[in-house]
Structure 1
Amino acid sequence: MAKTLKEVPLTTRSARAKLPVGLHWRGIDPETHLGYSKGVRGGVWLVRWRIGTGYRQDRLGTADDELSEGTLDYNGAIRAARDRVEGARLEDRAASAGQFQTVRTAIVSYCAERDARFRARGVGNTGRKAATSSLERYVIGREASANMEARAPAPIADVPLHLLTERELIGWRKSLPDTLKTSSVWHLAATLKAAINSAFRANRATLPATLPGVLTAALVISRTNPADGESVARENQILDAATVGRIIAAAKKVDEAAEWGGDLYRMIVVLAATGARFSQAARLTVRDVQIERSRLMIPPSYKGQGRKPEATPVPIGADVLAVLGPAIEDRGKGELLLTRRRMERAPGQLKWVANGRRPWGRAARLVEPWAEIRKIAELERDIVPYALRHSSIVRGIRAGLPLRLVAALHDTSVEMIERHYGRWIADGLDDMAARAVVPLMPAD
């Protein structure tokens, strides 16, 4: 091959029509050339690029010499050539680094790290995050086990990350069952995006710089689209004080009937009084109860990024302090405030007996007793324990507290408050404005 490329005009149909039958080249950059192979009835586009001391060549598609639809014009051929060469070079770098990173390997690595952090937090976390099971169910598949059925992997699972496209990600989203709630799809897409972004950060040299943008374009899902008929804080999850009181009374009955020893009752009281997430309440220690100042120091959540305060002081009433009294008495400052019985099978018997205490662990521990609480309190079937948090936030809004204070007390942001509780903010402002109205008309 000659050292100097002899370029020919390829940019228009008329220019290509004047060329003789054969192969013609035009430079894209010093090591990449666009080729046009002319035949009797039109031509095809090619690309070649330098690999070491030689060249690699590939076909791009049919030129638009006769038809416009389904063919490539000059500009389209240039774009296709760049994409093909960039993809090939990324693939070569990935191959030289060892095994390709795929959607599957990204998920497996990400979930392993998250589950390890989850278990390291203690407070009874011995299993896996729920997101791990969701990704297995809807993306990478799993084998059958004692309590889980086998799931086939999605087609996207084994796609190399350097070849992952927006179309493939959108196709995966569309393949999800219609029965999934919008919030479930949002969490699933967000977790998949986080897994792939984590792999991208660890393998920047072998993955395209455009990958994060592809993920954002394909996996960003609105959680507040009014068309889907779903809201994070649905109206029936906002409970008035009387309903919260019924829940607490029901929790006491369930606690006594099942011989929880006050553990269940205290957990529900703390959730109702503070609006804390279950994971935060489960990490409270005896030291966090400040009796003299009538407040609980709520540990920061694990949600979000960046530095967070050590704890958030949340005022509580004397009635709540009285309920917590038995959990404080004669206990060390560093011990967990809220625990539950450790149940073990009696030796040689089918009977389960209490043997010491243990951390609460996952929020799933509340599922069974909450069903009994809901029944006794005569709540709708879809009312969940998180309704206590929703209700606490809305109580603060309706009381006219500054949104920044409401957000701080609940370890969240003003943006999140405005996004998910906008209706109650408007109602609260209306109430405040109404109280500012004074009679203006003079008396007769």
Structure 2
Amino acid sequence: MALDLSKVKVRDELKPQREPHWQRLKVGCFLGYRPSKRGGKGTWIARVYDEDKGKYRLKALGDFGSLAGNEIFTAAKREAEKFAEHIEAGGAVRAKIETVADACREYGKANDDAEGRFKRHVYDDPIARVKLDRLRRHHLRDWRKRLEDKPSLVSRNKEGDKRTRDRAPATVNRDMTALRAALNTVLAPGAPNSEAAWQEALAAVPNASKQRTLYLDKDQRRKLLEHIDAEAAPFVRALCLLPLRPGAMAALNVGDFDKRTSELTVGKDKAGRDRRIVIPVDAAKLLASQTANKLPSAPIFMRANGKGWDRHSWKHPVAAAVAAAKLPAETSAYTLRHSTITDLVTGGLPLLTIAQISGTSAEMIERHYGHLVRDAAVKALGELAL
């Protein structure tokens, strides 16, 4: 009959001996108990098989003297299982993923964009505390409703006043995609049309992405540069020359630019992995001037305080320049990316090449800019008329 060390009476009846009395917890993992010869509390030992070394490893767990008799086994068992996880992970401590928040933190370690969304919408929400083995469709349906009802921050002035708008379906989709990806790493999809089908509550809103319509021509962009604050001018000029997201541009470091080959490595971006692009002469000259006499780890576009730019620091000078240049009020730093991509499309550059340079998919380029290609084709066919 297997030994049951969880029972205090069983432990009290065990005879003191050199070899601990062992109880098997699972394959390759044992919890041992050695009674005291002096009549006090006995000590506990964990024994775990190390496949890498081909032998058992032991760890003394102590006597858990501060606990009551019926609590000692639970504590000893927990410590033995932790030791087993440590050995099975090759000696590295492996995070225990039990809740939705645990899954998000693990996923966010390798994805800064997702981690930012989790901080804004998951960690402080009731969904964070839900155990993964008890996660049901209604939990995520309720979370989605709270997300959709949450207003999006448009701007904050120097006095701290906020300006918000209703959350756009495309924004909801991006926030849900991050959570869905985190849960997909630890959960299998549930049976369709059941409460276990957690994934159904995170289905994307169809046709949520709207075409970008605000376009600044080159004269308008020149006006913007004429009125931009001198500190922000190099950063904004770069956005006029390269079709990068403002956040990706701001994250560039000196070491990302090779002035010998005019190659730029774009790292922190929604596109995920790093990509290398060859940049045109004007952009290369700008980056060369911004990288001169700086350490490789320094931001290419540096503010007067030595820090890089971010969405909170660039929006005020951009907004002031937009007003001074009498440009459309909805113009933002992202408008420059759209305008640059538009010029590349109408200039005849292949859509796949534009997608690779700008860090998006050919599908997204086709969705938002395909009509420009078709318009150009119709115009060219019209010129063939006799």
TM-score range, shorter chain: 0.5 to 0.7
How many angstroms apart in 1 are the aligned matches of 2:297 and 2:374?
Answer: 42
Q: Does 1:177 align with 2:177?
A: no
- Which runs of no fewer than 5 residues in structure 1 stay unpaired? 1-96, 119-127, 142-152, 201-206, 343-356, 440-444
Match of 1:275 among 239, 243, 246: 243
1:322 offset after TM fit, Å?
5.6
SS of equivalent to 1:239 = coil
Per-residue CA distance 1:313-361 (angstroms, 9 max, x = gap):
12243xx55655643545567754322222xxxxxxxxxxxxxx34x15
Distance 1:412 1:281 in 2: 15
Structure 1 residues 384, 216: CA separation in 2 closer, same or farther (over 3 Å shift)? Answer: farther
In the aligned structure 1, how far is the partner of 2:97 from the partner of 2:242?
Answer: 48
| Structure 2 contact 253–296 (Cα < 8 Å) conserved | no
2-side partners of 1:224 and 1:328: how far apart? 42
- 1:331 and 1:321 map into 2 onto residues whose CA distance is 16
Distance, in Å, in 1 between the alignment partners of 2:295 and 2:241 is 23
User: C-alpha root-mean-square deviation of aligned residues, in Å?
Assistant: 3.6
2:154: which partner in 1? none
Deviations 1:386-408 (A, max 9, x none): 11111111111111211112112
Q: Which residue of 1 aligns with 2:257?
A: 288
State the alpha-carbon separation in 2 of the partners of residues 333 and 192 from structure 1: 34
Alignment partner of 2:381: what SS? helix
Structure 2 counterpart of 1:163: 134
Deviations 1:177-221 (A, max 9, x none): 1732212211221122123224x1xxxxxx556389935432121
Task: Give the share of equivalent positions with the same residue, in percent.
Answer: 22
- 2:234 maps to amino acid: R
d(CA) in 2 for partners of 1:301, 1:438: 48
Of 218, 221, 233, 2:201 maps to: 218
Show the counterpart of 2:68.
none
After TM superposition, list the pairs within 5 Å mapping 1:83-232 onto structure 2: 101-111=98-108, 113=109, 130-135=116-121, 139-141=122-124, 153-154=125-126, 156-175=127-146, 176-177=148-149, 179-198=166-185, 200=186, 210=190, 214-222=197-205, 224-225=207-208, 231=210
8 Å CA contact retained: 1:193, 1:215 = no
Change in 2 beyond 3 A, CA 1:102/1:373: same
Residues matched between the structures, number: 274
**Cα–Cα, structure 1 residues 431 and 288, in superposed 2: closer, same or farther, change >3 Å?**
farther
Equivalent position SS for 1:235: coil
> C-alpha separation between the residues in 2 aligned to 1:170 and 1:316?
51
Distance in 2 (alpha carbons) for counterparts of 1:431 and 1:298? 37
Q: How far is the alpha carbon of 1:414 from its aligned partner?
A: 1.0
* Secondary structure at 1:341 match in 2: coil
> In the alignment, which residue of structure 1 is the partner of 2:278?
313
Question: Who is 2:337 aligned against?
Answer: 389
TM-score w.r.t. structure 2 length?
0.60
Verify the 8 A CA contact 1:273 1:316 in the aligned structure 2: no
Q: How does 1:299-310 map to 2 (within 5 A)?
A: 299-305=266-272, 308-309=274-275
With normalisation by structure 1, the TM-score equals: 0.53
Give 2:217's aligned residue: 240
CA distance in 1, matches of 2:310, 2:265: 17
Alignment of 1:41-80 (within 5 A): none
Distance 1:398 1:192 in 2: 37
